[in-house]
Amino acid sequence: MAAPQKSEPIERTARTVAKHSRKVADSAAETKQSAAAIETSADLSTRLAADRNILAAERTYAAWVRTGLFALASGIGARALLAGVVPGWLVMADASMLIAFSTFCFGAAIWRQLNPGPPPPRPQLAQIPPAMLIAMNAFLGLVSVAALIGIWFGAPLASHLPPG
């Protein structure tokens, strides 16, 4: 009769160990699910950050091009508007510097867009094709050079003034 009394605490201990083992297994499963959810959330955050980087780079590119176009228009307008107000050499220097700055801006836009620094995470957004950016800015650069040539070697300002 002594044997049955010894087995009772052992069975109780075995049930307790089994119960704790199930709790540990359940806890491990919950931890695994939580880790997967955190990883999914981190992946989403990384993808969204990559998309924000793409959009920020495109805004920066647009700002450089906008500045270049403004400088080009200012250089062309400076020649027409400053004639007769300041000495001719100053008009030419001002217009030339503004147009040269526009050419710099078009080049800087491409350089900044194509060399953003360390590689960002893979974005979901499609980027503007680099070949299209290069072609557009090369064209704008040629327009700037043509405007510079037109300012230096074009018709004198007096021929552009209305009669009278």
Report pLDDT digits (tens) over 41-83. 777 777 777 788 888 888 999 999 999 999 999 999 988 888 8
What SS3 state is found at 128?
coil
Contact 95, 75 (CB under 8 A): yes
DSSP code at position 1: -
pLDDT digits (tens, 9 = 90+) for 118-160: 666 677 778 788 898 889 889 998 888 888 888 888 766 554 5
Gap between the Cα atoms of 155 and 51, Å rounded: 49
Contact 62, 134 (CB under 8 A): no
Find the mean pLDDT for residues 107-115.
86
**Phi, psi angle pair for 87, to nearest 5°:** -55, 150
Other Cβ atoms less than 10 A from the Cβ of 125: the count is: 12
